[in-house]
Amino acid sequence: MRHRGPHLLGVLLVLVISLALVVITMAGATQRTTAAPPKLIVGILHIGSVTDGGYNQAHAEGIRYMQRTLPQVEVIEVENIPEGADAERVMESMVQRGARLIIAASFGYLDPALNVAKRHPDVKFEHPSGYKLAPNLGTYWANTQDGFYLMGMAAGKMTKTHKAGFVVALPVSFFLANVNAFHLGARSVDPQFETRVVFTGTFLDPGKEATAANALLDQGADVMAMIVDSPITVVQVAERRGAYSVGYHYVGVQKFAPKGWISGLAFNWGPLYVRFARAVMDGTWKSESIYGSVASDYLIIAPFGTAVPASVVRQVSASKQAMIGGQLRVFAGPIKDNRGVVRVAEGQILTDQDFGRMDWLAEGVVGQPR
């Protein structure tokens, strides 16, 4: 009988430990089964690499900002998706995985997104720079012409040769308006300024972009600008040849050309994506065409480079405030095209709607849109 006491205590101890393990296991299982599902699944697809230092990276970093701000949101992200049938299949797959907001982040994704949106009216879609709406598809972009005017002012203050080179993907109206705005901004501070344009015919071809940039620099340009998906090639060619550059799309382009960097026009999509997601979650989302300005929180001027004098920064900043206040209008007449034809009469001011019909380049721009 002396030995039964310790033995009984041992048995009881084992039972207590086992019971505790069962309780812990059940608690863990309960936590797993009751873990809150995401309040919203957001899908985003990109036409190129999310590390392109340009168009795609700006959208991708907007999504990262949304994730940090709204941790209850889950993201499905896919890059390097061609426009057309592939994009439609990817969006359909995102819907099947539970996505209730899809950002179709390329111009050529518009029709595929409309097709998927029609099949899934309970899913919301957002498209950058689109020109069609649906009950569950909205569009968003910004007045980049104002921003390019400011970049032109900075270029006009920094140039020594009075010439800029502009590498542009395609001669479409909105891009021509950007080139003209840049040139008008430069001429506002340097009446001798000349802008030379080369169209590459594609949004991403580093070889063509390098050839175009070198040709423009050979013609005397000492400032380079671009409208292509990734600005890296153009700013690096300019840097190697001792020229200045202004960027586009992504706020962090400066790291690719730190010595010759002036500034850049950039998209800060994060705050807008947060608003989209919150609107879907709280039921206030609506189909609309959003078109921001330099007063918005998603069209921004990138930090100026160390080579830019403080006086230039102040002048550009003052002009930005004048735009916001309505005192400065980019396309206020008289404005002639580069063939001598008056395109904007004295007293006339072009509006945002006019940019979609622009088929000319301003006086002092060397190049032809057709």
Q: What is the pLDDT of residues 303-342, one digit of tens each?
A: 999 999 999 999 999 999 999 999 999 999 999 999 999 9
- Pairwise CA distance, residues 52 & 178, whole Å: 21
Q: Are residues 101 and 174 in the same domain?
A: no
pLDDT tens digit string along 286-309?
999 999 999 999 999 999 999 999
Question: What gap in Å lies between CA 248 and CA 174, rounded to an integer?
Answer: 14
Picking from 32, 29, 42, 45, the residue whose alpha carbon sits closest to that of residue 71 is 42
Shared-domain flag, residues 172 and 312:
yes
269-278: b (≥16 Cβ within 10 Å) or e = bbebbbbbbb
In this structure, are residues 260 and 246 in contact, taking their beta carbons and an 8 Å threshold?
A: no
Average pLDDT, integer, range 140-163: 97
- Name 75's bridge partners: 42
Task: Please name the residue that has the structure tokens 């009751």.
Answer: 34
Based on the domain organization, do 260 and 357 belong to the same domain? yes
In the predicted model, is pLDDT for residue 119 greater than 80? yes
Task: Yes or no: say if 64 and 270 are a contact pair by the CB < 8 Å rule.
Answer: yes
% of the chain beyond a pLDDT of 90: 87
Q: State how far the alpha carbon of 311 is from the alpha carbons of 17, 20, 189, 314, in Å.
A: 75, 72, 13, 5
Domain boundary pick from 119, 142, 165: 142
Determine the pLDDT at residue 38: 81
- 360 token code pair: 């000319």
d(CA 89, CA 117): 12
Residues in the chain: 370
What CATH number corresponds to the domain at position 323? 3.40.50.2300
Report how far residue 162's alpha carbon sits from residue 160's, in angstroms, rounded to the nearest whole number.
Answer: 6
Q: Output the average pLDDT for the chain.
A: 91
Query: How far apart, in whole angstroms, are the C-alpha atoms of residue 250 and residue 267?
Result: 6
Reported as a single tens digit per residue, the pLDDT across 39-80 is: 999 999 999 999 999 999 999 999 999 999 999 999 999 999
Q: Say if residue 82 is in the same domain as residue 156.
A: no
Please indicate, yes or no, whether residues 190 and 323 belong to a single structural domain of this protein.
Answer: yes
Contact 48, 77 (CB under 8 A): no
The answer to whether position 278 is within a domain reads: no
Predicted local distance difference test score (pLDDT) of residue 356: 86
Local confidence band at 35 (pLDDT 50, 70, 90 cut-offs): low
- 197: Cβ contacts below 8 Å, ≥ 6 apart: 165, 166, 168, 179, 361, 365, 366, 367
Please state the separation of Cα 91 from the chain's center in Å: 20
The reply to whether 169 and 116 lie within a common domain is no
Checking if the pLDDT of 157 tops 50, the result is yes
> Could you list the residue range(s) of the whole structural domain that residue 209 is in?
144-267+298-366
Residue 126: φ, ψ to 5°: -130, 140
**Bigger pLDDT: 4 or 201?**
201
Domain match, 71 and 132 both: yes
Residue 321 is assigned to a structural domain of this protein: yes
Reference 351, options 327, 332, 325, 328; nearest CA is: 332
**Residue 314 within any structural domain of the chain:** yes
> 148 and 197, same structural domain?
yes
How far apart CA 32 and CA 147 sit, in angstroms, is 50
The answer to whether residues 205 and 347 belong to one domain is yes
**Number of compact structural domains in the chain:** 2
Q: Among 110, 142, 174, which residue terminates a domain?
A: 142
- Residues 136 and 153 grouped into a single domain: no
The answer on 124 and 164 residing in a single domain is: no
Is residue 334 located within the same domain as residue 222? yes
Confidence band (pLDDT; 50, 70, 90) for 12?
very low
Q: What is the pLDDT of residues 168-194, one digit of tens each?
A: 999 999 999 999 999 999 999 999 999
Q: Which H/E stretch holds residue 227?
A: strand 223-227
